[in-house]
Amino acid sequence: MKRASSLAFGLACLASAVHAQDTESKLVINDDIDITTVAEAPAHAENLSEIYSGWAFRSPETMALQMDDFDNPGMIFVDQALDAYNTVEGSAGKSCQSCHGDDAEGLVGARAVYPKWNANAGEVWTMEMAINGCRTERMGAEPWGYTSGNMVNMTALISSVSRGMPVNVSFEGPEHDTWLQGKELYYTRTGQLELSCANCHEDNYDMMIRADHLSQGQINGFPTYRLKNAKLNAVHSRFKGCIRDTRAETYSPGSPEFVALELYVASRGNGLSVEGPSVRN
Partner 1 sequence: MRLSTITAVALAFTATVASAQTKYPTDVTFEDGAIAASLSGTPGDPANGQVLMNKGAGNCIACHEVTALAELPFHGGIGPMLDGAADRWTEADLRGIVADAKVMFPESMMPSFYKISGFVRPGDAYTGKAIDPDAITPLLSAQEIEDVVSFLMTLRDE
With the CA atoms of 238, 242, 244 and 250 taken in that order, what torsion angle do they form, in degrees rounded to the nearest 10? Answer: -60
Count of Cβ atoms closer than 10 Å to residue 133 Cβ: 15
CB 271 within 8 A of CB 187: no
Stretch that binds partner 1, among 60-68, 90-98, 155-163, 236-244 (CB under 8 A): 236-244
CA angle 151, 154, 159 (to 5 degrees): 125
For the bound state, the minimum distance from the C-beta of residue 125 to partner 1, rounded and expressed in Å, comes to 25
Footprint (CB under 8 A) of partner 1, residues 8-47: 16-18
If one counts every other C-beta atom within 10 angstroms of the C-beta of residue 213, the result is 18
Report, in Å, the least distance between residue 259 CB and partner 1: 17
Identity of the residue numbered 96? C
Among candidate residues 229, 248, 217, 234, the one with its CA nearest the CA of residue 276: 234
Q: Identify which of residues 21 and 159 has a Cβ nearer to partner 1 in the complex.
A: 21
* Stretch of residues binding partner 1 (CB under 8 A), selected from 52-60, 118-126, 147-155, 244-252: 244-252
For position 176 contacting partner 1 by CB under 8 A, the verdict is no
Give catalytic status of residue 242 as yes or no: yes
**Which of residues 103 and 206 has its CB atom nearest to partner 1 in the complex?**
206
Which residue lies nearer to partner 1 by CB, 100 or 183?
A: 183
Contacts with 228 (C-beta within 8 Å, 6 or more apart), sequence order: 281
CA–CA gap between residue 215 and residue 21 (Å, rounded): 8
Within residues 185-204, the interface with partner 1 by CB under 8 A covers: 188-195, 199, 203-204
Burial class (CB in 10 A: 0-12, 13-18, 19+), 43: exposed
Backbone angles phi, psi at 83, to 5 degrees: -60, -45
Answer yes or no whether residue 208 interacts with partner 1 by CB under 8 A: yes
**Least separation, in Å, of the C-beta of 127 and partner 1?**
23
Min dist. Cβ of residue 185 to partner 1 (A): 10
Choice between 6 and 204, CB closer to partner 1: 204
Q: Do residues 28 and 67 touch, judged by C-beta distance below 8 A?
A: yes
Please tell me the distance from the alpha carbon of residue 126 to that of residue 13, in angstroms, as a whole number: 39
Residue 23 or 252 having the CB closest to partner 1 = 252
92 binds partner 1 (CB under 8 A): no
Of positions 250, 270, 273, 278, contacts partner 1 by CB under 8 A: 250
Residue 242 CB, nearest approach to partner 1 (Å): 11
Minimum gap (Å) between residue 203 Cβ and partner 1: 7
In the complex, the residues that contact partner 1 under the rule CB under 8 A are 16-18, 188-195, 199, 203-204, 207-211, 240, 243-250
The set of catalytic residues is 242
